[in-house]
Each structure stands twice: as C-alpha cells, then as structure tokens.
C-alpha cells in the first residue's frame, strides 16, 4: 500500500457501553462499507491543472444513538496557481449509520479569502431517517453496493447547503493507474455527467472521479492510501 500523510486528521471513535438493538427505517439504504482507520489523500485537477488536495480519515466503528456508526473526516484546501489568487479551506465530519448507509449528523465548514475579503460558512446537518446523503455516505454506500451491469441507483446528495438528485449505474470494468477498477457512471442534478472508479478488489477503494462541466473536466484522483 502507498503511504499516506492524512494521519494528522483527528478521528473520534463512535462508542457506547453496549450494543443496543438496531433501529429500523421504512426504506433502508445500501449499507456502508468502510475500512477502520483507513486514510486517503486525493488531488483535484481542473482541465489537467492541480488546484486542491483533500485528505480523508475513517475512524473505528462504534455506537451512536443506538446505531452502529462510524465517524469520517475530510479536509480540503486550494493549492498551486489557484492558491495565488485566494485560499479556500473545507472540512466535513460525518457520523454515519453503518447499517443504513446514511448520515446521522454531519458538520460542514468552509473558509475563503479572496481579494482581501474573508468568508466563513458553517452548517450542521441532522438527517433523521431520511435517505439523503453527504459526500462521505454516498461514497461509502457506493463501495458497499454490488449492482448488476446497468443497474441504476437513485439518491439525494447534500453538499454546501444544497440538495440535488443523483442517478448512478454500474458501467463495467476498466484499468485505472495500472489497477483493475470498477466503473460507475452517473448524472447529478439532471445534467452534470460524472464517472467514478473503485478498485476491483475487496477494499473497493475510490481511485478516480471525473466530472464534465461546461468549462472543463474536474478530476479527483487518489494519490496516497493507507
């Protein structure tokens, strides 16, 4: 495995004294798949130019509000040429129900400084039994989903305070960065096309996400894993 520089992200283990009975939901989602203490580092490129990096760390499973849960944290920041124009930093912490694959709560925070002006956005989400996802739960349930060829799955994503629908389907097998990979294609918010590749092995690690926009391709690529 590749070494990872994500270990500075503090992770709290979800915990409780005893394992209570799992709660029920009317329409269960796909269970989460996580590797305890897993760390990942990604680079984000726009039209082939590196603009940011994101580090993600997964904690140890435990119990929260009577549910089997795990805490996942991500930290992103701008870098390269774009950082000369301004700085953007983003953090997301999610507590996710492992059996239902949906967040129990999350906390998303962003800081931006551009042309001497500073902005701060702070959002706390409480999901209840809704089948909405944040980034962490959406990727985690994709890793746990073993859909047949062209089988579709529809979810709703929450990001930056907005909600939008996603339609995603299994699109076959390919090779990414020399590794066998499972490809999933999708459409977000009705007109944004994207593809995600997971490693074609037991870990199903996110390797690459590519999104087509009107102004160019945005790619998120795994560079370190541990």
The string of pLDDT tens digits covering residues 105-118 is 999 999 998 878 89
Give CA separation, 202 vs 15, 51, 106, 208, 210, in Å. Answer: 26, 31, 27, 17, 23
CA–CA gap between residue 174 and residue 181 (Å, rounded):
5
Half-sphere exposure of 10 (CA within 13 A, CB side): 1
Question: Environment class of residue 122 by beta-carbon count within 10 Å: exposed (0-12), middle (13-18) or buried (19+)?
Answer: exposed
pLDDT at 63 over 60: yes
pLDDT in tens, 22-36: 333 333 457 889 999
Q: Is 129's pLDDT higher than 80?
A: no
Read off the tokens for 173: 């097998």
| Number of Cα atoms under 13 Å in the Cβ half of residue 125 | 27
Contacts with 146 (C-beta within 8 Å, 6 or more apart), sequence order: none
Round the average pLDDT of the chain to a whole number and report it: 85
Q: Give the pair of three-digit tokens for residue 75.
A: 């930290």
Distance from C-alpha of 111 to C-alpha of 203, rounded to nearest angstrom: 33
pLDDT of residue 14: 57
pLDDT of residue 82: 72
SS3 182: strand
Q: What is the pTM of this model?
A: 0.83
Domain ranges of the chain: 39-225
Integer Cα distance of 120 and 73 in angstroms: 19
């Amino acid at each position: 495995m590749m070494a990872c520089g994500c270990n500075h992200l503090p992770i709290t283990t979800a915990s409780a004294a005893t394992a209570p009975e799992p709660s029920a939901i009317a329409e269960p989602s796909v269970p989460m798949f996580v590797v305890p203490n897993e760390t990942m580092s990604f680079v984000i490129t726009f039209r082939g130019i590196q603009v940011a990096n994101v580090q993600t760390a997964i904690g140890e499973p435990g119990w929260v509000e009577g549910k089997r849960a795990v805490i996942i944290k991500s930290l992103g920041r701008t870098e390269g040429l774009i950082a000369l124009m301004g700085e953007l930093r983003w953090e997301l912490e999610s507590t996710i129900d492992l059996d239902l694959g949906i967040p129990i709560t999350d906390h998303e925070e962003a800081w931006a400084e551009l042309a001497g002006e500073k902005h701060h956005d702070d959002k706390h989400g409480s999901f209840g039994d809704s089948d909405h996802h944040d980034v962490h739960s959406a990727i985690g349930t994709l890793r746990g989903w073993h859909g047949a060829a062209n089988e579709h799955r529809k979810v709703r994503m929450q990001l930056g305070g907005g909600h939008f629908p996603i339609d995603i389907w299994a699109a076959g097998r390919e090779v990414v960065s020399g590794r066998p990979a499972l490809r999933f294609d999708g459409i977000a918010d009705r007109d944004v096309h994207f593809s995600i590749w997971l490693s074609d092995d037991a870990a199903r690690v996110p390797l690459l996400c590519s999104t087509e926009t009107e102004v160019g391709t945005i790619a998120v690529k795994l560079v370190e894993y541990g």
